[in-house]
Amino acid sequence: MVGRSFRFNYSYLLVLVLFACARDEVSFRIDPALLGESYENFQAGVKLYMPAGWSSISQEEFSLINKKIKPGPAEKIRPLRFYYNRDRTSFCMISRFLKKEKIKEIKDRYQKELPGSSPGSTVRFGSFYKENIQIHQFQIWNDKVITVKLLFTDRENTVIELDYVLSLQAYKKEIKAIESSIGSISLI
């Protein structure tokens, strides 16, 4: 029963977020009380806020995680920052593609590869605009974890990837904070 309830709510949320406006321009309800640390990358011209209570990992932890990233598409991506909320088994990774790959090529590749990469998972895709930033969103979930993967280009036209990974229980509690975080994405 819980799984059915979640799927219904999730589907409803997906419809609201992705199809809120005819032009695919989405307005987010940003609750400043649900936002915490900011991430700013002046070279790329990107700024966003993490959900309240999420912390940036230490440089030592960051180095260890970078070493464990598997070869393949990850070779083309440079992680910039990791945030986590250990109490809710959630994290966010902000990455930037190393070479000037077109966002459409990355999006098309993910649309082909993601459905087969996680057997038993459901993958949904949508695109929307947030203040003239085109954002491609993939949502991958199973009975334990949900990943919200966002792709958009920075001021230098390099692709930024933003991954929120949460346990299903944490997602249910954090959905408004995640929406506020996504809504805080801006080019500076």
pLDDT score of 12:
41
Question: Which domain CATH number covers 16?
Answer: 3.40.1000.10
pLDDT score of 65:
79
Judge if pTM exceeds 0.85: no
pLDDT score of 8:
43
Report the side by side order of strands in the sheet with 46-51.
35-41, 46-51, 186-187
pLDDT score of 100:
80
Q: Identify residue 84 by its one-letter amino acid code.
A: Y
Distance in angstroms between the alpha carbons of the first and the last residue of the chain: 44
Could you give the number of structural domains in the chain? 1
pLDDT score of 75:
60
Beta-carbon contacts of 91 under 8 Å, excluding residues fewer than 6 positions away, are 82, 83, 84, 85, 164, 165
pLDDT score of 92:
96
pLDDT digits (tens), the chain, 188 positions: 444 444 444 444 444 444 444 457 788 889 999 999 999 999 889 999 999 999 999 989 888 877 776 645 546 888 899 999 877 679 999 999 987 889 999 999 999 999 988 888 999 999 999 988 999 999 999 999 999 999 999 998 999 999 999 999 899 999 999 999 999 999 99
Nearest to 83 by CA among 51, 41, 43, 35: 51
pLDDT score of 72:
54
Question: What gap in Å lies between CA 27 and CA 17, rounded to an integer?
Answer: 8
Question: What gap in Å lies between CA 30 and CA 143, rounded to an integer?
Answer: 28
Task: Provide the residue range defining the domain that includes 165.
Answer: 2-187
pLDDT score of 88:
66
